[in-house]
Amino acid sequence: MCKNHSKGFIKIGLLLFMSLFFCAREEGPISKENIKSAENLLDLSFTDAERDSMQGELRDNLSCYQEIHQFQLDNSVPPVLFFNPIPISIKFNSQQRFFQISDYSYTQMPKNPDNLAFYTVGELAALIKSRPISSIELTQFFLERLKKLGPKLECVITLTEESALKQAQQADDELKAGKYRGLLHGIPYGVKDLLAAKGYKTTWGAMPYREQVIEQDAAVVEKLTAAGAVLVAKLSMGALAWGDVWFGGKTRNPWDTTQGSSGSSAGSASAVSAGLVPFAIGTETWGAIVSPSTVCGTTGLRPTYGRVSRSGAMAFSWSMDKIGPIARSVEDCAIVFNFIYGPDGNDQMVYDLPFNYQPQISISDLKIGYLKKDFDKQYDFKRQDSLTLETLKSLGAQLIPIELPEIPVNKLAFILSAEAAVAFDELTRSGKDDLLVRQIKNAWPNIFRASRLIPAVEYINANRIRHLLIQQMAQLMEKIDLYIAPSWEGDNLLLTNLSGYPCVVVPNGFSEAGTPTSISFIGRLFDEGKILAVAKKYQDATNFHQKHPEIN
């Protein structure tokens, strides 16, 4: 061995020794009695001799934790352990087909301009392109609605008026010059306020971050800007992505303003429902697109995990967070999704796979499953859901009864809690979690604290069970093209979020109280095009998505 190499190994050895000594130099409050108390929390049982032997290792670990706590880890820093939703041996279609949409050439300016509030993206795009209305005019129209109704619904955190008018003017100038960016050219929209927008606050709906400014555009915002869309508002969200309560109040359901709009994409669904924006961007980890879309009567797309870049978005659960559109119709969701999906070069968990949406689909040629056990139960939306199945049958669907894998997914829910506690670890350790509005037991401050005691071993074992879930779901989805599920009944919502499957949620009726209900279409991984096309067939055969709340 050469002398230089020998010196190098000696240096490495010294560094390793110093590192071990550094991690173990402080003794924490570790005793056999403490260990015995911890056993009761972790379903463990050790002998007194084993507890005695563990003390040195536990002191070393505690010292290392204390050193780790000195690092300033921003919410945007991901762990190096990535979630992979792709089952073993599964191959995906790599052929990109031409993106097709319906014909909107019929669209005319309404006699009552207020009716523009409930035009679809496709209809507004036709008006912008043919120029009976300009982007500036349309943007001003929606800004006025946001100013008028936003406070009543408590759904707006920040208006981006200054930049919106500049973007709208640019869209008009480009159109006059013969440059047309596509179907979102000049169309106003809003985003859930966990997506960064340069020059504006990104509050995450939470008091501790009320003044936070992230000087970048989230990848989704960048892509929508490139498409010519006009950002008019940062919309409310349940604080740190839970519920509909934020530091400015409780986001209201436009159908019943005494009620909340569910969460956590509360403002996105509320604003679209009330006609304050033509579409909005929401996120889902465990129901945050499906749930507010249900109560507000909007249409939402929760894409496959790994479809849309989360760069510039608040991290909540690295293995479950997904970004998708909330709009008036299925095809609006398809139009928006066509501009935001795919890699951006920053989020390493985004897959480069095609999105093929073709609305002319034959339902009778598809194998469509339905969760018979869930539909057979007695639950709140049973009547509406039963009629949905009948409508699908009348359209030619041959419904196949199916059952989801028998895995106790609710017992895996602490995966989300563990990751969320990591994402907001500094908030917990600093004590600033006391600033959050909701301080009840079933709220983030308490969950973050309790989740600090989730053992890494159990977190990893839960994810191993999740691996089995992914394989079993793949076996089920090989037999069908898609399936229908009650939006809130059973384990489907959590199960498909844990396994990464896409979902389209559409309105399918009204409750006895007069508020909307919904049904969910779940497809194969990365096959959003098919569930969107089938959901559109259902939507075209009904008119629930065309109903609007009366709010002034």
| The amino acid at 381 | F
Residue 474 pLDDT exceeds 90 = yes
- The full DSSP string for 257-288 is EEEE--SSSHHHHHHHHTTSSSEEEEEESSST
* Domains identified in the chain and CATH numbers: 16-68 (no CATH), 113-407+459-546 (3.90.1300.10)
User: What are the distances in angstroms from CA 442 to CA 180, 253, 438, 446?
Assistant: 49, 22, 9, 7
User: Which tens digits make up the pLDDT trace of 419-451?
Assistant: 999 999 999 999 999 999 999 999 999 999 999
Q: Which of these, 200, 209, 205, lies nearest to 250 by C-alpha position? A: 205
Q: How far apart are CA 269 and CA 295, in angstroms?
A: 9
Residue 467: other Cβ atoms inside 10 A: 13
Q: Are 311 and 223 spatial neighbours (Cβ–Cβ below 8 Å)?
A: no
pLDDT digits (tens, 9 = 90+) for 458-469: 999 999 999 999
pLDDT band at 552 (very low <50, low <70, confident <90, very high): confident
Residue percentage of the chain with pLDDT more than 70: 95
pLDDT for position 5: 41
Q: Using alpha carbons, list the distances in angstroms from residue 207 to 44, 249, 307, 315.
A: 38, 11, 30, 17
pLDDT at 347: 97
Amino acid making up residue 344: D
What was the pLDDT predicted at 29? 72
Identify the pLDDT of residue 25.
42
Euclidean distance between CA atoms 360 and 545, whole angstroms: 20
Summarize pLDDT for 39-67 with one digit per residue, the tens. 999 999 999 999 999 999 999 999 999 99
Q: What is the pLDDT of residue 366?
A: 98
Strand (E) or helix (H) holding 199: none
For the cut 90, the answer to whether the pLDDT of residue 22 exceeds it is: no
Q: Which of 288, 297, 214 has its CA nearest to residue 253?
A: 297
Give the pLDDT of residue 20.
Answer: 40
The reported pLDDT for the residue numbered 544 is 98
C-alpha torsion sign, points 244, 249, 253, 254 = negative
Helix 121-130 to helix 161-176 angle, to the nearest 10 degrees? Answer: 50
Q: Which helix (H) or strand (E) holds 460?
A: helix 456-477
